[in-house]
Structure 1
Amino acid sequence: MFDLDSYLARIALPSRVTVDAEGLARLQRAHRLAIPFENLDVRLGRAIAIDSASVFAKLVTAKRGGYCFEQNRLLLDALAAHGFAARPLLARVWLRATDVPGMTHSFSLVHIDGQDWIADAGFGGSYLPPMPLIDGAEAQGPDGARFRLTRDAQHGWMLLRDGHPGHTDGRSAGEGWEAQYSFTTDHVWDADLALANHWTSTAADSRFRQANIVSIILPRGFASLTDRHYSRRVGEDQSAATITDPRVYRMRMSLMFGIDLTPEETATLFAE
């Protein structure tokens, strides 16, 4: 049984949202403002469980973050508890891809009043607001970035972003329309998610095995910490630094991202 009250407290919402497009946007936004995107358990050698109970225990009870398979499992459960009709989808992330990428990203398809929407609480690259699944549909994020959905002859749908690269996790090549991820609406089974999650968390070629990655959206901006490189941008105000002291690293994790690491965890991550 999903503990909706505890989830709403975790994301600082005082009550349930309405079961409509506005409610979906409000729920996803609060979720992303409160729960950081992070892969630290992967880097600490821990298995990533994506069943509902494990995800809730980590992201809500233990107040940790997670990556897409965890974040969007939690969002799907919260949507179901509200009465939304939603199911998972898989996507290919195109940021900095040199060949057709694998399906290593999960997000949600939500059906509202006869219209399908995409919702994504687990895209660490930037903040994507919910969008209607309509060819040519556009949406603007609170940081000013624009997003567009287009039909793609080879890959089904393509999500594009046009915005300042400072409001991303650093993979953006610059301003102008840039492919984020592609997807189809084919049914995704639990086994598909398990396989994609296993590769993402264990394969040597996965970016989540290669760097410590943490990010969170801000009301009008974005903050990230990749290995020891910290970046924060709000509007036109941007700051960046390389952290050289593990005590500062631990403090930054706690104060900026809400992740409280033990001294032992900090030592392991800072040494990577």
Structure 2
Amino acid sequence: MTELGLSRYLQRIDYQGTLTADLPSLSGLVARHTQSIPFENLNAFMSLPVDLSADSVMNKLVVEGRGGYCYEQNALFRDVLMSLGFEVIGLAARVRWGVPPEVQTPASHMLLILTLSDVKYLVDVGFGVTTPSVPLRLDSRDVQVTAHGNYKITEEQGYYELAFEQSRGWQTLYQFNLEPKQDADYKVFNWYVSTHPDSVFVRNLVAARIAGQYRYTLRNREFKRYQGGELLDVTTLTTPEQVIVCLRKQFNINAPEALRSKLAALFDDSLAKAG
């Protein structure tokens, strides 16, 4: 990442701290990134390309003020960390969040592992509703308490599992090993999740953001607000315009004009099924 690109990124997330390759700087960057750059899949939902080139990701998430999903979010954050001298690699995880035990899932979610003074940290700024707002110690088997919920990492024979605590108990987010992935791997994963008709990101509008002590999520017509692992309230949006306003006010996303026609079809389908 160029010096100008880093400067624009730091302005985008309103980062005010010092910048050295240490844990306080890492923690500050994770906190500001997750509060400032929303998780969203508008391009895939609108059948538009999701370009993972460094220039395209920088332009979309930083210059245009949009958001993105895991490949965009974590690729951008990886480039920022590397430019600051952090030792970081990209991995792939099998998402288990909301997936029945008998259903197989591919290793398609991008996450980062960062090493500081021989200690490895899991860093993931792109998991949407349960994105960790702090680095998580990979070697700890204790509950890792954060301002936005509690996490736990377990390991068995080189395979790791990240879980999140909810009122109904611990829910697995994803499973992974420490085999590094290349950008070519993410390119293949990205093609599937952004174009395949069975992909959740093609079939649904999704957005998420951390705002102060709360988490906000939007899935199609439902806007939800969480505190920690607890759901506080649900608002059902009744018109495409309400979705546009929600994206702008709650997620700081100025939606492309093309989204309106896609939302009209979404609401038509919802009404038809309700009838």
Structure 1 length as normaliser, TM-score?
0.89
1:55 matched to 2:57 = yes
- Counterpart among 121, 128, 145 of residue 140 in structure 1: 145
Matched to 1:148, the amino acid is: K
Q: Secondary structure at the match of 1:240?
A: strand
Match of 1:242 in 2: 236
Match of 1:31 in 2: 33
Give the paired residue count.
260
- Counterpart among 148, 159, 164 of residue 162 in structure 2: 159
Match of 1:167 in 2: none
Matched to 1:35, the amino acid is: I
Mapping of 1:69-84 within 5 angstroms? 69-84=71-86
Matched to 1:233, the amino acid is: Y
What is the Cα deviation at residue 66 of structure 1? 0.3
Match of 2:272 in 1: none
User: Considering only aligned residues, what root-mean-square deviation do their CA atoms show, in Å?
Assistant: 1.8
What is the Cα deviation at residue 100 of structure 1? 2.5
8 Å Cα contact 1:16/1:82 also seen in 2: no
For structure 2, the residue ranges without an aligned partner over 5 or more in a row are: 267-275
Match of 1:179 in 2: 172
Matched to 2:249, the amino acid is: L
| Superposed CA offset, 1:114-171 (max 9, x none) | 111110010113131311211514311213x211111134x7111111134xxxxxxx
| Distance (whole Å) between structure 1 residues aligned to residue 115 and residue 227 of structure 2 | 33
Matched to 2:40, the amino acid is: E
| Distance (whole Å) between structure 1 residues aligned to residue 64 and residue 12 of structure 2 | 10
Q: Secondary structure at the match of 1:177?
A: strand
8 Å Cα contact 1:142/1:219 also seen in 2: no
1:254 matched to 2:248 = yes
Mapping of 1:1-272 within 5 angstroms? 1-2=1-2, 3-98=5-100, 99-128=103-132, 129-143=134-148, 145-153=149-157, 156-164=159-167, 175-234=168-227, 238-272=232-266
8 Å Cα contact 2:221/2:238 also seen in 1: yes
What is the Cα deviation at residue 207 of structure 1? 1.0
Matched to 2:213, the amino acid is: R
Match of 1:172 in 2: none
Matched to 2:183, the amino acid is: D
| Distance (whole Å) between structure 2 residues aligned to residue 237 and residue 178 of structure 1 | 14
| Superposed CA offset, 1:251-270 (max 9, x none) | 11111101112444223234
Aligned residues: percent identity? Answer: 28
Q: Secondary structure at the match of 1:125?
A: helix
| Distance (whole Å) between structure 2 residues aligned to residue 123 and residue 208 of structure 1 | 13
Structure 2 length as normaliser, TM-score?
0.89
